[in-house]
Amino acid sequence: MFQLVELEDVVKIPPRMLGMDLRRAAAEELSRKYSGAVSPELGYIIRVVEVEVEPVGRIVHGDGAVYHRARFRALVFYPKLQEVVEGEVVEVTDFGAFVRIGPLDALLHISQITDDYLTVDMKQGAIVGKGTGRVLKSGARVRVRISVVSMGRGMRMDKIGVTSRQPFLGAIEWIEDEVRKARQPVQAKSK
């Protein structure tokens, strides 16, 4: 889930930035510190926005930098357990597929794709259902449910696992086929 969160920190403005606009300098330093970082509480921090800086800062003896208290908003992505999300298959492997959800890749393990018996065709980069003939390839849009989230610290996310083994989950074209088939008897009765 994407959200804007409000944060507060003391930002260090190095001597090389002292001639710059204070808000711009603080925004650059906060972006350098936070953008791309992972927090177990916040999730993946995408970008720092709307920075407000106190104009009066502090100087520490022996350090040429100035320290200012800053309040800012950050755009974050925090995957929630059981959340249904849509993404794109970015890679097919012999053990499943990686799905890009927001700024992160989640593992859709082969056992979590469908109830059908599946084979992996690495030459074509596809996972094929034996009974249904359904194909999952790189570039396919999928709807999945987040089943595992293990947050790391710093610049890494430990693990995100997803499943599509539930009704109306999987490749978008599969879902559209299911909806079309479900509507046929209703349309036939109404004629």
CATH class, 2-77 region: alpha beta
Instruction: Say which CATH class 84-179 falls into.
Output: mainly beta
Query: For the stretch 78-112, what's the b/e string if a residue is b when 16 or more beta carbons lie within 10 angstroms of its beta carbon?
Result: bbeeeeebebebeebeeebbbbebbbbbbbbebeb
Q: Domain map of the chain by residue range?
A: 2-77, 84-179
Nearest to 41 by CA among 5, 83, 10: 5
Residue 187 pLDDT? 58
Which long-range contacts link 119-122 to residues 24+ away (Cβ below 8 Å)? 120/92, 120/93, 120/94, 122/92, 122/94
Give the tens place of pLDDT for each residue, 132-162.
889 999 999 999 999 998 876 654 556 899 9
Dist. CA 82–CA 123, nearest whole Å: 33
pLDDT of residue 38: 85
